[in-house]
């Protein structure tokens, strides 16, 4: 029963009330680009993961230039309110490139995780912790 195996915890990292226990999966979606210090996410994953923990982190990645960011916004949200388009554009510009994420992972000795662009605007960081 999934209800007995999944617990959602609301809080800010660092400092969220996360029980210290072995986790088989750690996942994050669209958080990384909101963090002023991306190491907060990687350090939290390292703290709560263990060898064998599966990691899946999905996020936006920053396009090569502002024109490309505008193109992405117009391609995927042409009929959205201007405030949402602006937020999407700003999120794209706040996101990290795959190379920047790879450096972040090297800094916490987790460069064994894979960093892949999975669309023209999304990346996935995944793998099994060692």
- pLDDT per residue as tens digits for the range 100-129: 999 999 999 999 999 999 999 999 999 999
CB-count exposure of residue 116 (10 Å: 0-12, 13-18, 19+): exposed
Predicted local distance difference test score (pLDDT) of residue 20: 85
Cis before 14 (ω within 30): yes
pTM for this one?
0.91
Predicted local distance difference test score (pLDDT) of residue 86: 98
* Tens-place pLDDT, residues 38-91: 999 999 999 999 999 999 999 999 999 999 999 999 999 999 999 999 999 999
């Amino acid at each position: 029963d999934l209800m007995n195996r999944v617990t959602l915890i609301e809080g800010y990292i660092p400092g969220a009330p996360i029980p210290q226990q072995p986790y088989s999966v750690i996942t994050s979606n669209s958080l990384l680009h909101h963090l002023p210090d991306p190491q907060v996410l990687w350090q939290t994953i390292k703290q709560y993961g263990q060898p064998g923990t599966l990691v899946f982190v999905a996020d936006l990645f920053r396009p090569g230039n502002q024109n490309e960011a505008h193109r992405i916004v117009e391609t995927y949200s042409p009929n959205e309110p201007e405030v949402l388009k602006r937020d999407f554009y700003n999120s794209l510009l706040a996101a990290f490139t795959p190379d920047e994420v790879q450096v972040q992972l090297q800094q916490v000795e987790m460069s064994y995780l894979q960093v892949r662009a999975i669309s023209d605007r999304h990346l996935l960081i995944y793998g099994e912790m060692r």
